[in-house]
């Protein structure tokens, strides 16, 4: 990993600590970086109904967008799983719509990491070009 990727993963790890996951105990942190180097973080926030739960990736993106950001360089996702945890389908869709074919860094707290392009995780995306 590059220094920039490590820095983003570090911020996602710290965000993971603020996760609110009393039901699943599945804590996830995410961080998104803008082309100017600004980083926004998010943690998953659960609801007892699960359907109202927000994933860490969407929290981070929505925080950034609500602050006026419209371009993103890379995203890091950290979950405490042995196999690296990619974004869920809903998060992949939001990431595509707001970030395009962005770099995705997946990591776990034990130091394992891998880097993908979003197009590898979402090979046939739906977006405004199809409307």
Active site residues: 57
29 exposure class (CB count in 10 Å sphere: 0-12, 13-18, 19+): buried
């Amino acid at each position: 990993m590059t220094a920039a990727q490590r820095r983003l993963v570090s911020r996602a790890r710290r965000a993971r600590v603020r996760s609110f996951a009393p039901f699943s105990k599945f804590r996830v942190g995410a961080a998104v970086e803008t082309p100017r180097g600004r980083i926004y973080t998010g943690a998953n926030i659960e609801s007892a109904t699960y359907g109202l739960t927000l994933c860490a990736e969407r929290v981070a993106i929505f925080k950034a967008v609500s602050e006026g950001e419209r371009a993103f360089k890379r995203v890091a996702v950290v979950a405490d799983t042995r196999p690296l945890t990619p974004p869920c389908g809903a998060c992949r869709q939001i990431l595509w719509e707001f970030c395009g074919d962005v770099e995705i860094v997946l990591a776990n707290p034990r130091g394992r990491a891998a880097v993908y392009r979003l197009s590898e995780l979402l090979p046939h995306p739906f977006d405004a070009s199809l409307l």
